[in-house]
Structure 1
């Protein structure tokens, strides 16, 4: 049974933004989040934990990217979250 056409993204740019935000943006947020955690907590524990939580967080961010209506807003949110995590990493290393 084919998908209902009203629920599909019509713009190829929105489709491109959602796919890249899901794969690249989700991975960027996942890595920077765990990098921030490793700068505040024990690196060994965070590295072991990241093998499980990193995959779960990345998949969750992928799903959220496709649930949104606008792919560019998802990119903006993921870049903002990555920036906050990078700022936390920088503050921890001061």
Structure 2
């Protein structure tokens, strides 16, 4: 792979190869919308088109020392402390 002189100079000077003004975080929006829809319509089955990577009734397990802890990003937001009650989802993520 060839490299042009501007990229070579940036590399030799230790400068980054790109600049961004924001840090981006991945948010799996479908998990949140599924939970909200289930709360609004408790007697109605939520349509599932089968493209989910995780089953909605399952959670991730993380090992913390000698213990395993159930982990769900939806539950992290839903059960957040009272001090963060006014924090919207896009800021929380």
Q: TM-score, normalised by structure 2?
A: 0.28
Report the structure number with the largest CA radius of gyration: 2
Q: Which structure would you say has the larger RCO, counting Cα contacts within 8 Å and 6 or more residues apart?
A: 1
More helix by share: 1
More strand by share: 2
Q: TM-score, normalised by structure 1?
A: 0.28
